[in-house]
Amino acid sequence: MAKEVTKRSENYSQWYNNLVVKADLAEQSAVRGCMVIKPYGYAIWEKMQRILDDMFKATGVQNAYFPLFIPKSFFSREAEHVAGFAKECAVVTHHRLMNDPDGKGVVVDPEAKLEEELIVRPTSETIIWSTYKNWITSWRDLPILCNQWANVVRWEMRTRLFLRTAEFLWQEGHTAHATAQEAQEEAWRMVQVYADFARNYLALPVIVGHKSPNERFAGALDTLTIEAMMQDGKALQAGTSHFLGQNFAKSFDVQFTNKEGKQEYVWATSWGVSTRLMGALIMAHGDDNGLVLPPALAPIHVVMVPIYKSEEERNAILEKMEEVKKSLEALGKSVKIDDRDTLRPGFKFAEWELKGVPVRLAMGPRDLAAGTVEVHRRDTLEKETMSLDGLGAHICKLLDDIQANIYQKAYDFRQANVEKCDNWEEFKEKIQDGKFLLCHWDGTAETEQKIKDETKATIRCIPEDSFVCEEEGVDIYSGKPSKQRVVFAISY
């Protein structure tokens, strides 16, 4: 078998690392903590981009681009924001190299020190709000709905491909509004876009909810999140949308004249998802044979493998496969014929399973003579022989079935691993088993921190959907009164 992957049951973490590399998604780069996204992995990311971009634009958002470098002084203007990112910032201090006088290569030219140091963007609120000051004077200039597709740098010491790297790709939306209500509605609208994308394209069941104050984005008044369960029971924060209030507008003095002629500070949101979604895709759906890609995001929907002994058989089968390929492409499906003559069919089968292609078609001389083809679905590994007549309609329905089945499997897994818990000793045991626990919380940061210190579990969200959590009770840890349950889990 080609490129065998560690089994999930043996070592889930190693399985993930194996799969990212062996399925040709990404690899470590020469720069410590950074990754190279390979063409197959980038093709998946491109599909995510394309779909999300259309979803954003349907809400009125426009794309723009802002600088990679942010003056250090900008970060000092919003104290909570700088505190949240200070330890992760990469700083540019000089702008030129020179030959080393000692002949040991090149060194930084001490004469080329920048007048003001620059931060390589970890996020763009500060540079964008300094720009919005030039764009906004009146209520007529609002709202501003901008998004940028970009890279950011957060200097992580312990990295993992797609999940946590020093540099990663993402989109970040930044909007400006005349009222708090409009900004809050925008933050809610965008988290719903993310939830829709996760459920209907990633085939990922997510919980929409609010972050606790301890877990909010630095500088936000409210953070909305979509939280997903991976196959080891850990949580993955898959996207966030923030209501920033007037914090950044006040930091950069962004005011507008309202309809009554009075000066007001602008209200803000920001929201983003990143290549971390690639990690979610792998960990939520992959199996011991490799990736299992939802058809909605698969770069290749159907791969076709010819089986032959002679050159004559090969040519005849490939000719028929070209006909099938054209008919499927006419229906909007992406098709690849694996006509490599240096590999055996069994090797090809294993490779395309590893890469998660939803449907595989195999055809030999007998199939050609009978007008049939063997159809293999990646999600269940089931095979059936089908007539070429009506194949296009069958494949379209099959891809829809696979998309729905992948979602249902992930949903059923999550439901089987979520439970209410009201006993602290029981909590400590179950949280280590990989579960989402619905527990009462007294609403204090102190209790939240103590639970995290003792168990590594955090409040993933205060749910707005998926689970009914409003009920009277007592905090799982402190015993103080509580009005609702929240989702606790250990996260990536």
Which amino acid type is present at position 90? A
Can you read off the two tokens belonging to residue 95? 């702008």
Question: Is there a cis peptide before residue 345, judged by omega within 30 degrees of 0?
Answer: no
- Tell me what pLDDT residue 1 has: 42
pLDDT, tens digit, 9 for 90 and up, residues 3-57: 678 999 999 999 999 999 999 999 999 999 999 999 999 999 999 999 999 999 9
For 77, the 3-state DSSP assignment is: coil
Amino acid in position 111: E
CB-side exposure of 173: number of CA atoms within 13 Å?
A: 33
Structural domain boundaries in the chain: 12-285, 295-413, 418-489
| Identical fold between 295-413 and 418-489 | no
Q: Name the phi and psi angles at 192, rounded to 5.
A: -70, -35
pTM for the full predicted model? 0.95
CATH code: domain 418-489 is 3.30.110.30
Cα distances from 241 to residues 117, 192, 221, 399, 492, in angstroms, run: 29, 9, 11, 31, 19
Burial class (CB in 10 A: 0-12, 13-18, 19+), 216: buried
Give the separation between CA 228 and CA 205, rounded to whole angstroms. Answer: 6
Total Cβ atoms within 10 A of residue 149: 14
Query: Cα separation of 406 and 282, whole Å?
Result: 12
The closest of 208, 233, 231 to 284, measured between CA atoms, is 231
Token pair listed for 419: 């439970």
DSSP state of 449: H
How far is 1 from 269, CA to CA, in rounded Å? 50
Enumerate residue ranges in the chain where pLDDT < 50.
Answer: 1
Q: Please name which of 88, 147, 149, 150 lies closest in space to residue 122, comparing C-alpha atoms.
A: 88
Please give the Cα distance from 249 to 251 (Å, whole number). 5
- DSSP string across 422-445: --HHHHHHHHTTS-EEEEE--S-H
Domain 12-285 CATH (choose: 3.30.1330.10, 3.30.930.10, 2.60.40.1930, 3.30.70.100): 3.30.930.10
Q: Say what the pLDDT of residue 46 is.
A: 98
Compute how many other C-beta atoms are within 10 angstroms of the C-beta atom of residue 10: 9
345 three-state secondary structure = helix
pLDDT of residue 101: 86
Give every CB contact of residue 308 below 8 A, 6+ residues apart in sequence.
314, 317, 364, 365
Taking domain 295-413, whether its CATH number is 3.40.50.800 is answered by yes
The pLDDT assigned to 3 comes to 64
Structure tokens at 42: 């980038």
Confidence at residue 75, expressed as pLDDT on a 0 to 100 scale: 87
Under 8 Å between Cβ of 203 and 190:
no
- Compute CA distances 351 → 98, 296, 348, 355, whole Å: 48, 20, 5, 6
